[in-house]
Amino acid sequence: MFRVLVLHGPNLNLLGNREPSIYGTASLESIDAALRKLSTELGIELVIRQSNLEGELVTWIQEARGDCHGIIINPAAYTHTSIAIRDALAAVDLPTIEVHLSNVYRREEFRRHSYVSGVALAQISGFGSSGYLLALRGLCEHMATSGSRGCSGGGSSASGTTVSIS
């Protein structure tokens, strides 16, 4: 069975209450529930974690090596600051999709730079909570087309792309 690590970065535990005009009204719990539902349909197992601590996220990425087939990560503010997360993702060499709820390219200038995107298979930004589902389908499709087992369905390939909506 295909196993995917889903990591939520800092402040995402506040979703639903935190700046809903930017991040939407979906709670982290509802996002995780939708991911679990889709993972059941796709026949894959998810490990879902959230932390406000950079080192904890790095440790979980390292632990995914040999245990998971891919990673979906919303590094949140660490996107723009964490070389440690970028280096951990590069070291484990697992297909990774970077997700952002808002379209970071329509926001402040500092949010337009991602340390993670250079080591990610794809980046999805601006689709709100649906971005996580797109990431899961895209990662599953990638794994299916690259010869991995465990995905019974999927969406269009996300290889090397950035997807965002205005």
Q: Decide if 100 is catalytic.
A: yes
* Residue 131: count of CB within 10 angstroms of its CB: 26
Among residues 8, 69, 100, 142, the one annotated as catalytic is 100
Tell me the backbone φ, ψ of residue 85, rounded to 5 degrees. -65, -45
Kindly name the residue from 23, 78, 115, 132 that is annotated as catalytic.
23
- The distance from CA 123 to its chain's CA centroid, rounded to whole angstroms, is 8
113 is catalytic: no
* 65 close to 88: Cβ distance less than 8 angstroms: no
Residue 24, SS3 per DSSP:
coil
The residues assigned a catalytic role are 23, 100
